[in-house]
Each structure stands twice: as structure tokens, then as C-alpha cells.
Amino acid sequence: MSIHDVRKLGREYCQTDGSAHYVKIRETNGIDAIEIAMANGIFEDFAITNMVKYALRFKYTRKLDDLKKISDYSHILAGVELQKQGREVVEQVDLKDDETQKYCANCRYVNYSADVEPCDSCSKGSNLQHRPEVTD
């Protein structure tokens, strides 16, 4: 199995809207710990601490849900950081091995639909460049 295949498998497994008990809290208009950390400006430390906790726990328990929790915290943290930078949500597109991504040379916004300036994200007149898919 290629790195592309195992990444896709892991990504599909780790998609989550949070643990069921947190979803229930939000559905009943409650406030969960993440929202408290965000409201008090400490979410970054909260998220990183929890990601480390779940990574260390996975090493011993081998529970895949621990990896799902790491992914969830990572996604939320990335969203918080993108929001601070004034960035919009970028839809992710799975690329085949022979496809390339188009991205703005100025802000690195991945722009799949346009070959013209300005960039949809930063609105600056930067040239769109092409790069092959980056693999880990």
C-alpha cells in the first residue's frame, strides 16, 4: 500500500465532529471544555497538551480513537489559527498521483478553479504557480 493510500485511509477514519458526549453537550446548548479554552485565549496550549496526551496514550493502548482525537484537536487548532490570520475555509481536494495543485505564490492558498489573478484568498496580484503534490 502506498503512502497516498494509507494517508487516505487514515484521513477517512479520523474524520470526526468530536466525541459523542461533546456533541450531546453542544446539542443541548451546553459549553464544552474546548469552548471554555477558546473563550479564555488558552486553546492553543489546551489543544497541544491534549494531542500529546493522546499520542502518548496511543503508544500503550493502541486505541485508534486516540489518534482520531489528535486529528480532531489538530483540525480545530488549524481552524483557530486560520481564523486569526483572516483566512477562509479551503475545501480539500484529493489528488491523483499524476495531478498537480495550483497555489498562490504570495499566500500559498490552494486555488483549484482559477488560473487568473487576483488570488481568491489574499486578493493580491500574484502569479499562480504549479507544484506537484507534496508527499511525506
Query: Has residue 20 got a pLDDT over 80?
Result: no
14-19 average pLDDT score: 80
pLDDT tier at 104, thresholds 50, 70, 90: low
Q: What is the pLDDT of residues 93-103, one digit of tens each?
A: 555 555 555 55
Distance from C-alpha of 124 to C-alpha of 106, rounded to nearest angstrom:
8
Query: Has residue 105 got a pLDDT over 90?
Result: no
Distance from C-alpha of 32 to C-alpha of 109, rounded to nearest angstrom:
32
Q: What is the mean pLDDT of the chain?
A: 75
First-to-last C-alpha distance (Å) of the chain: 14
Look at residue 4 in the predicted model and tell me its pLDDT: 86
Q: What is the pLDDT of residues 22-38, one digit of tens each?
A: 777 878 888 888 889 99
